[in-house]
A and B are shown apart, each in its own frame.
Chain A
Amino acid sequence: MIQLPCPWCGPRNVSEFRYAGEGGSRPDPATTTAQQWRRYLYMHRNPLGWTKENWYHGSGCRKYFSLERHTETHEIRTPEPQVEETSTSENAGESSVAQEAVEAR
């Protein structure tokens, strides 16, 4: 089981979280057309590699947060602008190694 670094609770098993996808900017419901709205609902990127995505810590602090995950290796790294971390130092160490490995490829 992979672990995700919740910025508030620290590293926890992925089974505590709900995957919320990449998200994106929501069109204004008052002015959008049906086609645009459906694009927003259905059309998402499906990258092989690093992706920035949102997770919901349903069995913990019940807050949303973002992280970067490699969709093939499941390596995790926290995106640049992030809440001050204290408890995720171990994961951060791993992810920087992982990042180098991926960049070297």
Chain B
Amino acid sequence: MTRSVWKGPFVDGYLLKKAANARNSSKNEVIKIWSRRSTMLPQFVGLTFGVHNGHKFIPVLVTEDMVGHKFGEFAPTRTFYGHAADKKAKRG
């Protein structure tokens, strides 16, 4: 069952404070978070979070498309092994 709309999106309270602090400071730092269950809000767009995956922090730069998704979706907890083959990466 989907979450009731009247409740609004779930976000851990401390995360809002951390995001506000990061916005106010001019330094471009990565915000360490363990709250994989929190929803990405519009005010997080442009910030980079280090989302804990159980043993390290995965950098997640929040973009507009990610709003409404949970942080945990972008930091898999299982180790991924694959072949490079012809796969490409684009420097952002």
Please determine whether chains A and B interact with each other in the same assembly: no
Residues of B in contact with A (beta carbons under 8 Å apart): none
